[in-house]
Amino acid sequence: MTQLAIIGHTTRDRVDGGASRAGGAPLHALRALHEVNSTARVVTKVAEADAALLAPIAELADNLVWLPASETATFALEHDDAGNRRVIVEALGDSWEPADLKSWVLPAIQGCRIAHLGALSAADFPADTVALLNQTHRLSLEGQGLVRPGRRGPVAHAPPASLDLLRHVEILKLSLEEATVLGLEPTQSSLQQLGVPELVLTDGEHGAWILAEGRLIKIVADSIPVRDVTGAGDGFIACYLAARLDDARPEDAGRFAAGAVATMLRHRQAEVEPGG
């Protein structure tokens, strides 16, 4: 069994007005891991009426455990001609409560060394849930759980009232936009202010920075001409964690993750091109 667990909502996504499709951190993480012949254990929630969205996850996960939610987290993603993306939250899904951990999440991830919390918003993982989970597992957190308010409508980031949540987090993944909301810059002195032992800062085609072991490391990424890069960050952190679990150095884990995501995006582009 794998030593990496991905916890987060399975979503229903509509991209540029197209048909609904499965999304969410678990699926995107698994697709990138699949490119490097790896996998993860997945714990997720989705409305029972949308259980068909779990099919691509079940194909790739080492083990899939899910619970019916009161509603499926639902997003509309719109891209303009300049490549800018607008995200609209249409449904939030249920928060992950301590009772969830005790009744089914912790049994499902027993034996995993790292649990990545693929938060979609600050409403997903309350502080008491994160604190309880940290008693049994090393935790990685998606930065949307800090700066994306848990509400419907167009996504607009906002700094959190408190960063106490990070006391329970070993590895934090942020996008450059999320770091900016927190008042941070991609420098060692700035990122160290968060006090997180390890930080992965992604910047799309410009690569990533990794703050680990007292060093700030720049990771170069290939520029892939694809319009829809949804899930690239989820894929990067999943592959980074998988490599770190195999005792890779931070810089090697970062390059490994960048290569996996580039391959995933190339395959996605091939699928949408004529004859692909």
| Model pLDDT for residues 217-264, shown as the tens digit of each residue | 999 988 766 767 788 999 999 999 999 999 999 999 999 999 999 999
Place of tokens 């951990």: 101
The pLDDT, as a whole number, for residue 80 is 80
pTM: 0.94
For residues 76-82, give the mean pLDDT. Answer: 81
For residues 52-69, give the mean pLDDT. Answer: 97
The pLDDT, as a whole number, for residue 94 is 96
Decide which of 18 and 39 is more confident: 39
Evaluate if residue 170 carries a pLDDT over 90.
Answer: yes
For the segment(s) 4-272, the CATH number from 1.10.10.10, 3.40.1160.10, 3.40.1190.20, 3.40.50.720 is: 3.40.1190.20
* Pick from 229, 235, 233: nearest CA to 27: 235
Strand, helix or coil at 217? strand
Percent of the chain with pLDDT over 70: 96
Evaluate if residue 103 carries a pLDDT over 50.
Answer: yes
206-227 burial code (b ≥16 CB/10 A, e <16): ebbbbbbeeebbebebeebebe
| Model pLDDT for residues 21-44, shown as the tens digit of each residue | 999 999 999 999 999 999 999 999
Decide which of 59 and 227 is more confident: 59
Evaluate if residue 66 carries a pLDDT over 60.
Answer: yes
Evaluate if residue 77 carries a pLDDT over 80.
Answer: yes
| Model pLDDT for residues 130-147, shown as the tens digit of each residue | 999 999 999 999 999 999
Percent of the chain with pLDDT over 90: 83
Evaluate if residue 274 carries a pLDDT over 50.
Answer: no
Distance separating alpha carbons of residues 253 and 274, to the nearest angstrom? 34
pLDDT band at 276 (very low <50, low <70, confident <90, very high): very low
Strand, helix or coil at 78? strand
* Angle at the Cα of 228 from the Cα atoms of 224 and 232, rounded to 5 degrees: 70
For residues 63-80, give the mean pLDDT. Answer: 93
| Model pLDDT for residues 155-164, shown as the tens digit of each residue | 989 999 999 9
Evaluate if residue 272 carries a pLDDT over 70.
Answer: no
One-letter amino acid for residue 89 of the chain: V
Write down the H helix ranges in the chain: 25-35, 55-60, 98-100, 106-108, 127-133, 144-147, 176-181, 188-191, 232-245, 250-272
Average pLDDT over the chain reads 93
Evaluate if residue 119 carries a pLDDT over 70.
Answer: yes
